[in-house]
A = this chain, B = another copy of it.
Amino acid sequence: MRTRRVTQREIARIAGVSQATVSAVLNGSTSATVRIPPATRERVQRALEQARYVADPAARRLAGLGNKILGVFTYEPAMSVETVDFYGPLLTGIEESAERLGCDLLFLTASPVVGGRRRLLDRRTRFRLADGCLLLGQDMDEQEVAELVAEGYPCVAVGRREEPSIPYVGVDYGALTLELLTRARALGHRRATYLHADRQTPSALDRVEALGRATAGGVLDVRTEIVTDDDLERAARDAAGRGETLVLCENAFTAARVGSALVDDDTVSVAALGETEGHAVAGRQVSGFRLPRTRMAHEALTLLHRIIDGEAAPAKRHRLLPGRVEPGETLRAADGASR
């Protein structure tokens, strides 16, 4: 367990100076008074090189310094076979940014899963080792995060949050939803149903709210219906039965299922109000969104870094990035024409 290590004391002995002097050389003499003569400095540097000194991050941390370690807390596994599709581009951005910022990444995979999601504030959680923490996942306990923020611990969520104290970088689902509906209207659609699960996450609310505005504004008349997974196909067929020409779904997975169920009904279009990359029904790209996930990760890590350095004005701690509507092939003209 204990590995024999080179410490500042040892370097000091070699160089014939005090341990504090070694520290001063290493840290570029922060204290204005400390001005070490080049000769001494060189002697210490040589000893440092020769003995391959590496500072103990635990000791630095304990002594109050930043460690350049950024925590990554995911409320569900990020690299699993099921989720890597979605998280992959986020991880890409996270790794790139961390490298650019010269930071290491602490993935908090050990935090125990209680009631289906990881607990952030658990006795065993080691996020405090990190200078700050990135939070990924829909199912976040905002209260818990807010406490952390109130304590002064730097956090950034990926995805919009309701709790105003929580910094975040998210995607503008409202604008995307409106854009997709406008497109649908141009294709001749007038009535649609939105099938969604009963979840109260901020992005889920953003979608529903945008649908409400679209309906009120006369863009498209959208009925919303909460359905369980088992009822999805039934609900989609009911919508078709009522003469609605478009079924909107919460994500690409449910859109693909609905698309399959209605595959031989050319009069009903399907679209997802979420990322649809790589999702197709009968070879047709599912219509929906393209979310700038790599860029989100970049922006989130950069924001986190700024907050840690005390540079981010509170006003700049909330950011919604624009996405792009993916026209796809499952949103067709309302009369069933191919476009």
A253 neighbours in B (Cβ, 8 Å): none
Query: How many chain A residues touch the partner (CB < 8 A)?
Result: 61
Give the CA-CA distance A64 to B2 in the complex, in Å.
Answer: 7
Give the CA-CA distance A53 to B122 in the complex, in Å.
Answer: 8
Contact A77 B106 (CB under 8 A): no
Q: Does A152 contact B (CB under 8 A)?
A: yes
Contact B106 A99 (CB under 8 A): no
Number of copies: 2
Contact A57 B126 (CB under 8 A): yes
Q: Which of B77, B88, B94, B129 contacts A96 (CB 8 A)?
A: B77
Give the CA-CA distance A48 to B310 in the complex, in Å.
Answer: 31
Q: Does A281 contact B (CB under 8 A)?
A: no
Give the CA-CA distance A79 to B90 in the complex, in Å.
Answer: 9
Q: Which of A104-155 contact B (CB under 8 A)?
A: 104-112, 121-126, 128-129, 131, 151-153
Assuming the contacts A3-B128, A104-B110, A126-B104, asked whether A95 and B78 have C-beta atoms less than 8 A apart, the reply is: yes
Assuming the contacts A3-B151, A91-B84, asked whether A123 and B55 have C-beta atoms less than 8 A apart, the reply is: yes
Q: How far is the CB of A47 from chain B (nearest CB, A)?
A: 13
Q: Does A61 contact B (CB under 8 A)?
A: yes
A-B contacts, 28 listed (Cβ < 8 Å)? A1-B64, A1-B310, A2-B152, A3-B152, A52-B121, A53-B123, A54-B122, A55-B123, A56-B128, A58-B62, A58-B128, A68-B126, A69-B126, A77-B96, A79-B88, A79-B92, A80-B95, A84-B92, A95-B107, A95-B109, A99-B109, A102-B124, A104-B107, A104-B109, A104-B126, A105-B107, A106-B107, A129-B129
